[in-house]
């Protein structure tokens, strides 16, 4: 029997976008504030938080007596 497992390692889209924006900022091609340069990380974290809160809300509704 063979076991097929797939693992994904590496940088995702938001990580690549953050690296791109950081490189552009450090080389002087963009003059954005660091808040905007790092915004892909903040947006990803915010979306993950919204998903977790939503999942917890659904679980709370389902398990309510």
37: nearest Cα among 27, 47, 25, 46: 25
pLDDT in tens, 2-55: 677 777 777 889 999 999 999 999 999 999 999 999 999 999 999 999 999 999
Domain ranges of the chain: 13-62
Contact 12, 27 (CB under 8 A): no
- Tell me the pTM: 0.69
């Amino acid at each position: 029997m063979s076991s097929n497992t797939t693992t994904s390692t590496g940088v995702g889209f938001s990580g690549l976008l953050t690296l791109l924006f950081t490189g552009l900022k450090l080389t002087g091609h963009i003059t954005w504030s660091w808040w905007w340069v790092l915004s892909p990380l903040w947006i990803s974290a915010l979306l993950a938080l919204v998903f977790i809160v939503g999942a917890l809300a659904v679980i709370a509704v389902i398990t309510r007596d």
